[in-house]
């Protein structure tokens, strides 16, 4: 009865997906009907590429294990002495110390003496590969000192399909797959250079928090994604991370085409372990396993937080009674989990698992210092470069030795006390806060009224040794300059000294794991900005924002002279902001997403999908827009955003000239022909063309410009980002930027051939400073 019912439901889901497809020519492949095709058996890892030695060592190690010992490696155990998010038990007779897995992608969670790093969204806004690499290496050197084998990040899913997504800030980098993938690549390489394994998560199409997990009467949301969109959008950054050598992938809570993320044989066996040649292991998100043998056969290799519910003794039993072949367990352990351990040298002088992660921080414990003063510059630069200057009327910024500065808004001050990682910056509200807010529900996740945010909330939230708030950093500046400060962090209609040389209004945009945001702007902060601007002629608006923030409610007010999106800067937030406001740093961040004028410009992709109608128990989220999210959608519909993808101002000005394209000698056959290597077919990375251009600093001061290259692939979106280079340029000087276009960069996914197809034809090439300011144009003939 149950299976008949589920067939009917899946049938209805297919029906709905077909309707969506029929109305939308974008998703034209034939196998997407909201169902996931079966792909069995689970492919064995073979030790491809530079995994060969690790596989040999792992085979030798696992040959000494009993079945029970092998099974113990596939699931977490309850561990009370450390705060590791998950623990694999030791095997003392073979000197295997066990493993510690710990959150997350923005720094070590739940311990002391570690840093609060700029979050992924800030890295995305920096458009800086070197910085992404340096941040990742600095961050995981802290994980290593604390005895963490696997750092649970970076996040490249969500990609950011839904503007109100609760986790878009986490390590999302950008909702453009190319930018996200390029920064994920550097992050994985940087992280793993310290011997700590990156867990790239959440695989895949984990685009909303709403209904991410099954509840009593409602299933987990099914992201229904067609094959073409899957490859060209959501898989793209995962592919880059695997190409970079990522040792671990975390499968997600949501269902994908109606099959659970950790039981989806198409995505795990088919795409990840076959097409992408992934040699590491797949770990479940915490509690994302909903079946035993079926998940093993679908390609899951390790269960967290405990192996006991479906696996553990049941997995041993399944092998003994013939339901599951021991080869699959051998593949989980020999070829994947233990190979990963050898691959990153964790058998050699790696700190004891969880050594710096005591479970009770408030009790006396031996302190293991994770921080290192050599990362100070990276932490600061990461905070600065994540700031994007969006408006600067009549050069209001940088401030010119102001005498009176007024500061308003709850996000200018530190929260009243050190907040835990679950609710950073958004702890219980004081009664006076409540009285000035419209409704309490308007507050939760909309903004953190109790103080500034340096990260979002949930498992990716920062632990930090200190917090530099905007107020504290401004006070220090006033001390140095002899200027005078006024402030009010509470009132929505504060008393404003009209003689202020500058009035800074600081709001935040809070987001957290577990829930999507209730809106893209809030009335309290919009009202505060307008009230200050009604008195103060030089009103400078700043947000610390864990996601996109609409600004049309105030941006055209003549007294709003400047706007900065600070994103989620980590522990040096205030210090970074003040250095930009006073011109000690020249802003160089660019938007890693578009800022539309209105919610309606998103055509439904502002909000998460909700369970409804006949799907109320089996929520469906049809990705029927295909690859047309963010700027791809706005360009296709000819909608002018307030600020376009890739936009960001500097205190200097750049010009672009001399575009040139050069074709290489690489084959331009329709399909790649080389065998699968780690990351996919090898010749996907052949460089087919190089584009160069000259960028000149025509202003008065040194600054960094992000030159961006967009390609119009025949039949696809008008423009897609396919290159970027950030260059620091002295006034009057020029640099040549160079963009390499690979076979994959110029291809589309062919759903029939199941390969990347390089079309013959004319490719439009544009270079400039944002997705809509592209002064250089040429074509590439293939
Ligand atoms: C659930 C989150 O989705 C995941 O990102 C995190 O790593 C695990 N919990 C462990 O805390």
Q: What's the pLDDT tens digit per position in 122-150?
A: 999 999 999 999 999 999 999 999 999 99
pLDDT value at residue 428 = 40
- The band of 16, judged by pLDDT with boundaries at 50, 70 and 90, is very low
Residue 302 in any domain: the answer is yes
Residue 23 in any domain: the answer is no
pLDDT value at residue 212 = 96
The verdict on 394 and 339 lying in the same domain is no
pLDDT value at residue 417 = 78
Number of domains the chain is built from: 3
Residue 768 in any domain: the answer is yes
Q: Find residue 562's DSSP bridge partners.
A: 392, 540
pLDDT value at residue 403 = 98
Residue 210 in any domain: the answer is yes
Q: Write a three-state SS string for 90-105.
A: CEHHHCECCEEEECCE
The verdict on 575 and 662 lying in the same domain is no
Among protein residues, the one whose CA lies closest to atom 6 of ligand 1: 459
Residue predicted with more confidence, 551 or 5: 551
Residue 427 CB coordination number (10 Å): 18
pLDDT surpasses 70 at 431: no
For residue 624, how far is its CA from the centre of ligand 1 (angstroms)?
28
For residue 202, how far is its CA from the centre of ligand 1 (angstroms)?
9
- The band of 19, judged by pLDDT with boundaries at 50, 70 and 90, is very low
Token pair recorded at residue 320 = 């003994």
The verdict on 564 and 677 lying in the same domain is no
Strand, helix or coil at 34?
coil
Q: Measured between alpha carbons, how far is 13 from 181 in angstroms, rounded to an integer?
A: 31
The verdict on 391 and 270 lying in the same domain is no
pLDDT in tens, 629-677: 999 999 999 999 999 999 999 999 999 999 999 999 999 999 999 999 9
CA atoms within 13 A on the CB side of 503: 27
Q: Measured between alpha carbons, how far is 524 from 577 in angstroms, rounded to an integer?
A: 22
pLDDT in tens, 446-505: 888 888 999 988 899 888 999 999 999 999 999 999 999 999 999 999 999 999 999 999
pLDDT value at residue 14 = 39
pLDDT surpasses 50 at 342: yes
**Size of the chain, expressed as the number of residues it contains:** 782
Q: Starting at the edge strand that comes first in sequence, how are the strands of the sheet with 687-697 ordered?
A: 654-663, 687-697, 734-742
Q: Which atom of ligand 1 is nearest to the CA of 201?
A: 5
Q: Which of 490, 494, 491, 547 is nearest to 521 (CA)?
A: 547
Q: Find residue 691's DSSP bridge partners.
A: 661, 739
The verdict on 409 and 327 lying in the same domain is no
Q: Measured between alpha carbons, how far is 180 from 121 in angstroms, rounded to an integer?
A: 10
pLDDT surpasses 80 at 429: no
- The band of 4, judged by pLDDT with boundaries at 50, 70 and 90, is very low
Of 565, 585, 605, at which residue does a domain stop? 585
For residue 541, how far is its CA from the centre of ligand 1 (angstroms)?
34
Among protein residues, the one whose CA lies closest to atom 4 of ligand 1: 285
How high is the mean pLDDT of the chain?
Answer: 92
The verdict on 708 and 774 lying in the same domain is yes
Among protein residues, the one whose CA lies closest to atom 3 of ligand 1: 285
Q: Which atom of ligand 1 is nearest to the CA of 252?
A: 3
Of 343, 374, 408, at which residue does a domain stop? 343
The verdict on 190 and 286 lying in the same domain is yes
For residue 124, how far is its CA from the centre of ligand 1 (angstroms)?
21
Token pair recorded at residue 563 = 């706007």
- The band of 117, judged by pLDDT with boundaries at 50, 70 and 90, is very high
pLDDT value at residue 309 = 87
pLDDT value at residue 640 = 98
Residue 773 in any domain: the answer is yes
Among protein residues, the one whose CA lies closest to atom 8 of ligand 1: 286
As a whole number, mean pLDDT of residues 537-543 equals 98
Residue 465 CB coordination number (10 Å): 12
The verdict on 179 and 91 lying in the same domain is yes
Mutation to probe ligand 1, out of 102, 152, 248, 302 (largest number of atoms < 8 A from CB): 152
Q: Write a three-state SS string for 467-521.
A: CCCHHHHHHHHHHHHCCEEEEECCCCCCCCCCCCCEEEEEEEECCECCECCCCCC
Mutation to probe ligand 1, out of 83, 203, 459 (largest number of atoms < 8 A from CB): 459
Q: Are 289 and 262 in contact (CB under 8 A)?
A: yes
The verdict on 321 and 395 lying in the same domain is no
Residue 278 in any domain: the answer is yes
pLDDT value at residue 30 = 36
pLDDT value at residue 445 = 60
The verdict on 416 and 322 lying in the same domain is no
pLDDT surpasses 90 at 2: no
- The band of 416, judged by pLDDT with boundaries at 50, 70 and 90, is confident
The verdict on 507 and 424 lying in the same domain is yes
What pTM value is reported for the model? 0.94
Identify the CATH number of the domain in which residue 409 sits.
3.40.50.1700
The verdict on 209 and 264 lying in the same domain is yes
Could you give the C-alpha distances from 676 to 404, 471, 688, in angstroms and in order? 64, 54, 19
For residue 459, how far is its CA from the centre of ligand 1 (angstroms)?
6
Q: Which atom of ligand 1 is nearest to the CA of 304?
A: 10
For residue 685, how far is its CA from the centre of ligand 1 (angstroms)?
32
For residue 287, how far is its CA from the centre of ligand 1 (angstroms)?
9
| From 112, 285, 516, 601, active-site residue | 285
- Pocket lining for ligand 1, CB < 6 angstroms: 85, 103-104, 152, 201, 285-286, 459
Q: Which atom of ligand 1 is nearest to the CA of 202?
A: 5
For residue 637, how far is its CA from the centre of ligand 1 (angstroms)?
36
Residue 699 in any domain: the answer is yes
Q: Which atom of ligand 1 is nearest to the CA of 199?
A: 7
pLDDT value at residue 568 = 96
pLDDT value at residue 216 = 84
Q: Which domain holds residue 82?
A: 50-343
Among protein residues, the one whose CA lies closest to atom 9 of ligand 1: 286
Q: Which atom of ligand 1 is nearest to the CA of 170?
A: 5
The runs of H, that is alpha helices, within 193-337 are 227-229, 236-243, 265, 293-298, 313-320, 326-332
285 as an active site residue: the answer is yes
Of 585, 604, 631, at which residue does a domain stop? 585
Among protein residues, the one whose CA lies closest to atom 5 of ligand 1: 459
Residue 128 in any domain: the answer is yes
For residue 253, how far is its CA from the centre of ligand 1 (angstroms)?
10
pLDDT value at residue 448 = 84
Identify the CATH number of the domain in which residue 315 sits.
3.20.20.300
pLDDT in tens, 501-539: 999 999 999 998 999 998 999 999 999 999 999 999 999
Q: Which atom of ligand 1 is nearest to the CA of 212?
A: 3
Classify the C-alpha dihedral 395-399-404-405 as positive or negative.
positive
Token pair recorded at residue 504 = 């800074």
Among protein residues, the one whose CA lies closest to atom 1 of ligand 1: 286
Q: Which atom of ligand 1 is nearest to the CA of 103?
A: 7
For residue 281, how far is its CA from the centre of ligand 1 (angstroms)?
17
Identify the CATH number of the domain in which residue 746 sits.
2.60.40.10
Give percent above pLDDT 90 in the chain: 86
Q: Write a three-state SS string for 164-206.
A: CCCCCCCCCCCCCHHHHHHHHHHHHHHHHCCCCEEEEEEECCC
pLDDT in tens, 287-333: 999 999 999 999 999 999 999 889 999 999 999 999 999 999 999 99
Mutation to probe ligand 1, out of 284, 285, 512 (largest number of atoms < 8 A from CB): 285
């Amino acid at each position: 009865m149950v299976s008949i019912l589920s067939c009917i439901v899946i049938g209805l889901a297919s029906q709905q997906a077909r309707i969506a497809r029929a109305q939308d020519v974008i998703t034209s492949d034939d196998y997407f009907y909201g169902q996931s095709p079966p792909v069995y058996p689970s492919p064995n890892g073979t030790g491809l590429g530079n995994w060969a030695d690790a596989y040999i060592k792992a085979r030798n190690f696992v040959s000494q294990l009993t079945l029970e010992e092998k099974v113990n490696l596939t699931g977490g155990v309850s561990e009370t002495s450390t705060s590791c998010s998950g623990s694999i038990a030791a095997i003392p007779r073979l000197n295997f110390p066990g493993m510690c897995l710990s959150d997350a992608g923005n720094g070590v969670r739940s311990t002391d003496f570690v840093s609060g790093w700029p979050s992924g969204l800030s890295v995305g806004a920096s458009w800086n590969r070197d910085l992404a690499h340096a941040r990742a290496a600095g961050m995981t050197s802290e994980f290593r000192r604390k005895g963490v084998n696997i750092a649970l990040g970076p996040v490249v899913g969500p990609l950011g399909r839904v503007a109100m997504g609760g986790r878009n800030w986490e390590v999302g980098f950008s909702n453009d797959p190319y930018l996200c993938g390029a920064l994920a690549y550097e992050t994985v390489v940087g992280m793993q250079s310290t011997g700590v394994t990156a867990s790239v998560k959440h695989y895949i199409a984990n685009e909303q928090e709403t209904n991410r997990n099954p509840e009593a009467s409602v299933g987990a949301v099914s992201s229904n994604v067609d094959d073409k969109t899957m490859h060209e959008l959501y898989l793209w950054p995962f592919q880059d991370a695997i190409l970079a050598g990522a040792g671990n992938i975390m499968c997600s809570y949501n269902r994908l085409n109606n099959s659970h993320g950790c039981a989806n044989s198409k995505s795990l066996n088919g795409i990840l372990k076959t097409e992408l040649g992934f040699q590491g292991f797949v770990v479940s998100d915490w509690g994302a396993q909903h079946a035993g043998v079926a998940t093993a056969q679908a390609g899951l290799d390790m269960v967290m937080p405990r192996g006991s519910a479906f696996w553990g003794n049941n997995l041993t039993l399944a092998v003994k009674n013939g339901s599951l072949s021991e080869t699959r367990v051998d593949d989980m352990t020999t070829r994947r989990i233990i190979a990963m351990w050898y691959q990153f040298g964790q058998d050699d002088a790696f700190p004891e698992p969880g050594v710096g992660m005591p479970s009770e921080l408030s009790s006396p414990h031996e302190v293991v210092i994770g921080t290192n003063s050599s990362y100070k510059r990276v932490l600061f630069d990461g905070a600065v470069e994540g700031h994007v200057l969006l408006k600067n009327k009549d050069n209001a910024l940088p401030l010119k030795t102001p005498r009176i500065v007024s500061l308003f808004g709850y996000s200018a001050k530190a929260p009243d006390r050190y907040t835990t990682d679950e609710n950073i910056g958004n702890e219980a509200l004081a009664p006076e806060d409540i009285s000035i807010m419209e409704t309490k529900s308007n507050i939760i996740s909309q903004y953190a009224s109790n103080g500034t945010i340096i990260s979002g909330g949930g498992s990716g939230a920062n632990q930090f040794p200190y917090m530099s708030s905007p107020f504290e950093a401004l006070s220090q500046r006033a001390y140095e300059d002899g200027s005078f400060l006024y402030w009010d962090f509470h009132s929505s209609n504060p008393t404003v000294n009209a003689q202020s040389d500058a009035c800074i209004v600081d709001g935040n945009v809070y987001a957290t794991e577990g829930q999507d945001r209730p809106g893209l702007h809030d009335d309290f902060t919009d009202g505060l900005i307008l009230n200050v601007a009604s008195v103060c002629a030089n009103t400078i608006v700043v947000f610390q924002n864990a996601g996109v923030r609409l600004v049309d409610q105030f941006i055209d007010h003549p007294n709003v002279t400047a706007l900065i999106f600070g994103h989620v800067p980590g522990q040096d937030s205030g210090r970074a902001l003040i250095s930009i406001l006073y011109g000690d740093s020249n802003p160089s961040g660019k938007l890693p997403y578009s800022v539309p004028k209105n919610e309606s410009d998103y055509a439904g992709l502002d909000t998460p999908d909700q369970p409804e109608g006949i799907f109320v128990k089996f929520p469906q989220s049809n990705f029927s827009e295909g690859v047309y999210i963010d700027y791809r959608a706005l360009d296709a519909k000819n909608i002018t955003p307030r600020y376009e993808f890739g936009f960001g101002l500097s205190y200097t000005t750049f010009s672009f000239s001399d575009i040139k394209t050069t074709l290489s000698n690489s084959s331009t056959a329709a399909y790649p022909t080389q065998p699968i290597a780690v990351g996919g077919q090898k010749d996907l990375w052949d460089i087919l063309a190089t584009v160069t251009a000259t960028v000149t600093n025509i202003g008065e001061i040194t600054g960094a410009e992000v030159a961006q290259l967009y390609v119009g692939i025949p039949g696809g979106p008008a423009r897609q980002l396919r290159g970027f280079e950030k260059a620091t340029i002295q006034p009057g000087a020029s640099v040549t930027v160079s963009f390499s276009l690979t076979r994959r960069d110029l291809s589309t996914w062919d759903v029939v051939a199941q390969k990347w197809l390089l079309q013959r034809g004319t490719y439009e090439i544009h270079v400039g400073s944002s997705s809509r300011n592209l002064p250089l144009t040429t074509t590439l003939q293939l």
